[in-house]
Amino acid sequence: MTTWSSIALVLGLGLLAVDAAAPWWQTASFYQIYPRSFKDSDGNGIGDLNGVTEKLEYLKEIGVTATWLSPFLRSPMADFGYDISDFKEVDPLFGTMEDFENMVARAKQLNVKIILDFVPNHSSDECDWFVRSAAGEEKYKDYYIWHPGFVENGVRKPPSNWVSVFRGSAWEWHEGRQEYYLHQFHKKQPDFNFRNPVVREEMNNVLRFWLEKGVDGFRVDAIYHAFEIEADENGNYPDEPRNDWTNDPDEYGYTHKIYTVDQPETPHLVYEWREILDQFQEDNGGEERILMVETWSPIEIVMHYYGNETAEGAQIPFNFQLIVNLNENSDAYHYEYLINNWLSQMPSGKSANWVIGNHDKNRVGSRFGADRIDLFNILLLTLPGCSITYQGEELGMLDGYVSWEDTVDPQACNGYEENYMWNSRDPARTPMHWTNGKLAGFTSGSGTWLPVAQDYAERNVQTERGAPLSHLNVYKRLQQLRQEPSIQQGAAEIKAVNGYVLAVERYLSGNYVYISLLNIFDHIENVNLNDVFRGLPDSFQYALVTDKSIKQLGDKVSSSSVTLMPHECVVLRSTTTI
Ligand code: GLC
C-alpha cells in the first residue's frame, strides 16, 4: 500500500495527504446559514442573528466547525440581502451590531468560525455611494459603470446587448443622471466599477472593518462578475455574441458571456484581498483568515483563484463541479472523473473543497432523489479537504412548495408563472425544520416569510434526533468518523468499482483504512474492493450504516465481497491498522 501510494503521489493520481498541523480550514466542516430561514428569535417570521446565536450549539452538536452566513447587512431586500445599502451596518430585520458581536463572542466560545458573505460586485441602488454617483458627485462619479447609450431614429438604446442574470437588459436608464448604469443582477443591484482604485480601496476597507469585528473570513459573492471588458477608446462596450440556447433576448442565456464574466483581471482582485487578510493576521495574530470564492467558471479558470506563482489567492475557490456536472442519471465513472479531475487540476500544495448545494440551488434530495441524501453527505464528509453543507441538508430537507403567489425570489418574479419553478430559488430557502410542532419550531410568530415545507413533521431536528438511522444521525456519525486520522490527514483514492458503485479509500500509515461505498442506483450490487484498490486488508467492519442497510454497525465483512442493497451507502473500516 505504501509503495502504491507513493507511486501514485509521484504520478499525481489525485492522492493527497494533509499535514497533521494543517490550518483549521483545510479539513473544516463548513455549514452555510441562510439567516432569513434559519431561526427566528422575535416572532416576525424572518430569521435573525439572535436566532443564529441561539442555535450555535446545534452546529456543535452536528460537528460543524465553521459557518458562512448569507448577508445580514443593511438592505432594501430586493435580492434578500445581496443588495447591500450599507456595507458596515446590520439590517434591523436581522438585529443590531451588538447582536452580531454577541454571536461572534458565543461562536468563539464554542470554537465555531464565522465567515461573512462579502458582496463586492454590486451594492444596492439605495447605497449612499450609488445615490451620490447618480447625482454626479465628483468623488463618486465613477464608482459604478455609466454610459449614455445610443440614440437611433430618436429612440434611446442601451450601450450593449448585455443581459442581466435576473432577465432583461443589464442596463437601466437613470433619469437623474441621464445615463444607463450596469447591473448584472437586479436593477436594484448596480455593478461597481472595479477599474476605479477608489472603489477597490472602499471594498478593502469593508474587509478590514469586519476583520476588526472578529470574523474568520469571507465568502466572496459572484466574483466572476466583478470585471467587465474595459470600454474602448470611445468609451463603448462591445455586444456579446449570440448563443443558440434561446431566442428570448431577455433570457440570460441569450448571449455568450465573453465580456461580462471571467475577465483576466478578476482573480487579481482576490489576490489583493488575500494580502489584506494575511496582513491582518500578521498584525493581529490569531489563526488564518480565509476567503471562499463563488465562481461558476470553467474549472481551468476556477483554479486561478487559488493563486499564481507570485500571489496567494483564496484558500477555498468553491468546487461546484458536482453541482454543475452531475444529474440523477450520472454513473459512478462520472463521479470518479469529476472528483479526480478537481484533485489533479488543483495547483500543488492547495487543498480541496466539496459543495453540493446552497441557497441558489434546489435541495439535494429534490435534484438527485431522496434516496441519495445520505450518499452526498457521506461523499462530502469523507473526501479529502473541507466539506460545505447547506443548512437543512443534514436533515435531508427537500424543496418546499412555494406557489406563484407566494414566490418572492426576483429571479423567478422577473419571469413568468408558466415556468417560475425552474428559476425560483425559494424552494431551497423555506424555513429550517427544528421541531414537528407549529411552523416547524422556526418561529413563535403566526407566519413565516416563505411557507414551511409540508414534510416538516417527518424531517426535523427533534424527530431525527430520536431515529437512530435518520439523515441527521448519519451526518453526526460521519462527523465522528471525520475525526479519524486517516480521514483527517490520510491519502485518498477515488474509484468507480463499476458503473453503479463509487468507492473512496482513505488511509494513513499506522491507522485504519476507511472505505466509503456508495451504491448510486436501485439494484443490489456485490463488489470486490480488491478489483480497484491494491493491498487492502482482507477484513473490514461496518463503521457507518444507513436506513438502506441490512447490516449492523460493527458487522464484519471481507473486502473481496461486499453486498450493497439498493441505494445503500456505508463506510467500512479495516479491522487492523496498516
Ligand atoms: C450570488 C448569490 C445569489 C445572489 C447573487 C447576486 O450568486 O449566491 O444568491 O442573488 O450572487 O448577489
Which pLDDT value is given to residue 3? 33
CA of 401 to the centre of ligand 1 (A): 21
User: What letter would DSSP give residue 430?
Assistant: S
Element (H, E) at 82: none
Provide the CATH number for the domain around residue 174.
Answer: 3.90.400.10
Region for 541 from its dihedrals, namely left if φ exceeds 0, alpha if ψ lies in -120 to 50, beta otherwise = beta
Q: How many CA atoms lie within 13 A of 11 on its CB side?
A: 9
CA of 71 to the centre of ligand 1 (A): 10
- Looking at ligand 1, which atom is closest to the CA of residue 83? 12
Q: Find residue 115's DSSP bridge partners.
A: 68, 217
Q: What is the DSSP string of 208-244?
A: HHHHHTT--EEEETTGGGS--PPP-TTS--PPPPBPS
What lies within 8 Å, CB to CB, of 485 at 6+ separation is 20, 508, 511
Residues 151 and 59 in one domain: no
Phi and psi, residue 87, nearest 5°: -75, -5
Residues 408 and 455 in one domain: yes
CA of 222 to the centre of ligand 1 (A): 6
Which residues in 21-56 are b (16+ Cβ under 10 Å) and which e? eeeebbbbbbbbbbbbbbbbbeebbbbbbbbbbbbb
Within-domain flag for 10:
no
500 lines ligand 1 (CB under 6 A): no
Element (H, E) at 269: helix 266-284
* Closest C-alpha residue for ligand 1 atom 11: 222
CA of 48 to the centre of ligand 1 (A): 19
166 lines ligand 1 (CB under 6 A): no
Residues 42 and 169 in one domain: no
Contact 23, 288 (CB under 8 A): yes
Provide the CATH number for the domain around residue 542.
Answer: 2.60.40.1180
Residues 74 and 202 in one domain: yes
CA of 326 to the centre of ligand 1 (A): 21
394 lines ligand 1 (CB under 6 A): no
Domain endpoint, select from 241, 273, 306? 241
Within-domain flag for 290:
yes
Is 484 among the residues known to form the active site? no
Question: Please, what sign has the CA dihedral across residues 455, 459, 55, 368?
Answer: negative
What lies within 8 Å, CB to CB, of 475 at 6+ separation is 62, 63, 377, 381, 389, 394
Q: Long-range CB contacts (< 8 A, 24+ apart) of 206-212?
A: 206/87, 206/88, 206/118, 206/120, 207/118, 207/273, 207/276, 207/277, 208/276, 208/280, 209/87, 209/88, 210/116, 210/118, 211/276, 211/277, 211/280, 211/284, 211/289
42 lines ligand 1 (CB under 6 A): no
What lies within 8 Å, CB to CB, of 493 at 6+ separation is 8, 13, 14, 15, 504, 505, 533
77 lines ligand 1 (CB under 6 A): no
Within-domain flag for 570:
yes
Q: Which tens digits make up the pLDDT trace of 90-138? A: 999 999 999 999 999 999 999 999 999 999 999 999 999 999 999 999 9
| pLDDT confidence band for 140 (50 / 70 / 90) | very high
CA of 123 to the centre of ligand 1 (A): 12
Domain endpoint, select from 443, 475, 507? 475
Residues 251 and 151 in one domain: no
In total, the chain counts a number of residues equal to 578
Q: Which tens digits make up the pLDDT trace of 236-267? A: 999 999 998 899 999 999 999 999 999 999 99
pLDDT at 15 over 60: no
Residues 215 and 236 in one domain: no
251 lines ligand 1 (CB under 6 A): no
414 lines ligand 1 (CB under 6 A): no
CA of 500 to the centre of ligand 1 (A): 34
79 lines ligand 1 (CB under 6 A): yes
117 lines ligand 1 (CB under 6 A): no
* Closest C-alpha residue for ligand 1 atom 3: 360
Residues 390 and 350 in one domain: yes
Within-domain flag for 91:
yes
119 lines ligand 1 (CB under 6 A): yes
Domain endpoint, select from 475, 504, 538? 475
Closest by Cα among 329, 337, 338 to 356: 338
80 lines ligand 1 (CB under 6 A): no
pLDDT at 16 over 70: no
CA of 412 to the centre of ligand 1 (A): 13
Catalytic residue among 172, 216, 294, 336: 294
* Closest C-alpha residue for ligand 1 atom 4: 82
Q: Which tens digits make up the pLDDT trace of 155-202? A: 999 999 999 999 999 999 999 999 999 999 999 999 999 999 999 999
Within-domain flag for 280:
yes
What does the block give as the cell for 423?
428559476
Ligand 1 pocket test, pick from 221, 294, 355 with the greatest ligand atom count within 8 Å of Cβ, gives 221
Contact 146, 140 (CB under 8 A): no
Q: How far apart are alpha carbons 140 and 163 in whole angstroms? A: 25
Residues 536 and 567 in one domain: yes
Residues 101 and 214 in one domain: yes
Provide the CATH number for the domain around residue 284.
Answer: 3.20.20.80
Q: Which tens digits make up the pLDDT trace of 208-218? A: 999 999 999 99
Number of domains in the chain: 3
Q: Which tens digits make up the pLDDT trace of 371-419? A: 999 999 999 999 999 999 999 999 999 999 999 999 999 999 999 999 9
The proportion of the chain whose per-residue pLDDT surpasses 90, expressed as a percent, equals 96
What lies within 8 Å, CB to CB, of 254 at 6+ separation is 161, 163, 242, 243, 245, 246, 247, 248
Catalytic residue among 79, 221, 409, 493: 221
Is 191 among the residues known to form the active site? no
- What is the residue range of 308's domain? 29-120+197-228+242-475
Within-domain flag for 361:
yes
- When pLDDT is averaged across residues 455-477 and rounded to a whole number, the result is 98
Which pLDDT value is given to residue 7? 34
Phi and psi, residue 41, nearest 5°: -100, -15
State the amino acid at position 578 in one-letter form: I
Residues 291 and 438 in one domain: yes
Which pLDDT value is given to residue 28? 98
State the amino acid at position 18 in one-letter form: V
- Looking at ligand 1, which atom is closest to the CA of residue 296? 7
Contact 442, 432 (CB under 8 A): yes
Within-domain flag for 214:
yes
- Looking at ligand 1, which atom is closest to the CA of residue 166? 10
pLDDT at 5 over 50: no
* Closest C-alpha residue for ligand 1 atom 9: 360
Nearest-5° Cα angle at 299, 296 to 305? 75
Which pLDDT value is given to residue 21? 77
Within-domain flag for 523:
yes
Residues 349 and 290 in one domain: yes
Q: Which tens digits make up the pLDDT trace of 484-510? A: 999 999 999 999 999 999 999 999 999
- When pLDDT is averaged across residues 336-343 and rounded to a whole number, the result is 98
**Residue 196 exposed, middle or buried by CB count within 10 Å (0-12, 13-18, 19+):** middle
Residues 323 and 437 in one domain: yes
Nearest-5° Cα angle at 360, 258 to 337? 70
Q: Helix or strand or coil: residue 375?
A: helix
